[in-house]
Amino acid sequence: NRVLVTGGAGFIGSHLVDYLLGRGFQVRVVDNLSSGRLEHVSHHFGSELFEFVKGDLKNPEVALKAVEDVDTVFHLAANPEVRLSVTEPAVHFNENLLATFNLLEACRRKGGVELFVFASSSTVYGDASVLPTPETHEIKPISVYGASKAGCEALLSSYSHLYGFKGVSLRYANIVGPRLRHGVIYDFIMKLSRNPGELEILGDGSQRKSYLHVSDAVEATVTVAEKSSSTYDCFNVGNEDWVTVAEIADIVSRAMGVKPLYRFLSTVKDGRGWPGDVKLMLLSIEKIKKLGWAPRLSSREAVEETARALVRELGL
Ligand code: NAD
């Protein structure tokens, strides 16, 4: 039983790798280290169960080698910076859609893969008209990042129907925890470490979203991999509460022991952080709960825990 984790040196991927190795699976990581870090997986070097391949999935040859002798794929490699797609849509087309296409093609050509799990995102819904948003809600992304994830889901649906493996897409809410190196919590910590007296907040601070601790996200991912029975399916993976960006600013400031002045940079319509930022995000998790999974930490607890962990980890 060899498992491939693409993006396994990244934030979520490396926690998934820890979990899978802890349960005795043989794990191959393929990662180009664009945002991932070797130090997230280097504690497994020397383990017979662990193989690390530095490679870029935009190259079809790398994708073909990646799936060799593999029966389960967790595909997490992507560029996760939603904001970037406003100015550089091609990055999300290439890193997300093209890389995913290459990997699916590799599965088709090699054979042997039985299950393909894809890390999708809540951003596929865009500005949802129903909150909490169920999986049956229409897909109307408002960022190229969200569009690239929706495109990958559609490719996976068709490949799993055509080529004999099961596919499942996980629409993650904001995932947070140790090793996180992007998103609002990390951004606030970096800004406050440079200037503890003032914090620039993108948007009006009222953006409200759901956050899930990475330990819960990993358990959800493995639960779905084990229990999803359809040829292709998708599941929301999130929390039942949400917090505002202004609340996150308070939590991070407290974790760092500072009391900054907040400066809101609200230049985009409705107080969003940037064009393409979804202002309100809360996913319905009724479907995945039926598989026996539920979050242990609330959004607020996950954000607090992450702020404390990152302050420790970054030596601040
Ligand atoms: P991350 O940046 O830490 O991990 C992505 C990993 O993929 C990195 O290690 C990077 O080096 C690698 N990678 C990128 N392009 C690659 C390529 N072409 N070939 C090989 N490796 C490549 O981000 P993350 O937060 O751990 O996200 C993991 C996955 O979950 C991504 O697909 C992301 O879009 C998705 N996701 C994350 C969140 C979140 O809140 N963190 C929410 C929704 C979806």
Beta strands in 123-216 (DSSP E): 166-172, 174-176, 198-202, 208-209, 211-213
* Distance in Å, CA 79 to ligand 1 centroid: 5
Question: Is pLDDT above 80 for 21?
Answer: yes
* Distance in Å, CA 56 to ligand 1 centroid: 13
Q: What digits encode the pLDDT tens for the residues 273-297? A: 999 999 999 999 999 999 999 999 9
- What's the CA gap between 16 and 18, in Å, rounded? 5
- What's the CA gap between 18 and 30, in Å, rounded? 15
Is residue 170 within 6 Å of ligand 1 at its C-beta?
no
Q: Which domains does the chain have, with CATH numbers?
A: 2-175+211-237 (3.40.50.720), 180-210+241-280+297-313 (3.90.25.10)
Quickly state the pLDDT bin for 83 (edges 50, 70, 90). confident
State what percent of residues in the chain have pLDDT above 70.
100
pLDDT computed for residue 249 by the predictor: 98
Q: What digits encode the pLDDT tens for the residues 101-153? A: 999 999 999 999 999 999 999 999 999 999 999 999 999 999 999 999 999 99
pLDDT computed for residue 221 by the predictor: 98
Question: Is pLDDT above 90 for 85?
Answer: no
Question: Is pLDDT above 80 for 1?
Answer: no
Contact 291, 223 (CB under 8 A): yes
Q: What is the mean pLDDT of residues 57-75?
A: 98
Closest listed residue to residue 111, CA positions, set 65, 164, 35, 156: 164
pLDDT computed for residue 294 by the predictor: 98
pLDDT computed for residue 154 by the predictor: 98
Is residue 203 within 6 Å of ligand 1 at its C-beta?
no
Show Cβ contacts of residue 140 under 8 Å, excluding neighbours closer than 6 positions: 125, 126, 127
| Mean pLDDT score across all residues of the chain | 97
Atom of ligand 1 at shortest range from CA of 174: 40
Beta strands in 203-309 (DSSP E): 208-209, 211-213, 232-237, 243-244, 261-265, 280-281
DSSP β-bridge partners for residue 168: 117, 233
Question: Is pLDDT above 80 for 81?
Answer: yes
End-to-end C-alpha distance for the chain, whole angstroms = 41
Atom of ligand 1 at shortest range from CA of 36: 9
pLDDT computed for residue 282 by the predictor: 98
Helix (H, G, I), strand (E, B) or coil at 143: coil
Is residue 11 within 6 Å of ligand 1 at its C-beta?
yes
* Distance in Å, CA 149 to ligand 1 centroid: 12
Is residue 147 within 6 Å of ligand 1 at its C-beta?
no
Question: Is pLDDT above 80 for 190?
Answer: yes
Pocket test for ligand 1, best of 172, 211, 243, 303 (most atoms within 8 A of CB): 172
pLDDT computed for residue 246 by the predictor: 98
Quickly state the pLDDT bin for 228 (edges 50, 70, 90). very high
DSSP β-bridge partners for residue 51: 28
User: Please, how many CA atoms are within 13 Å of residue 192, restricted to the half-sphere of its CB?
Assistant: 28
* Distance in Å, CA 78 to ligand 1 centroid: 4
ipTM field:
0.99
Is residue 174 within 6 Å of ligand 1 at its C-beta?
yes
pLDDT computed for residue 313 by the predictor: 95
Least confident of 131-135, 169-173, 218-222, 265-269: 265-269
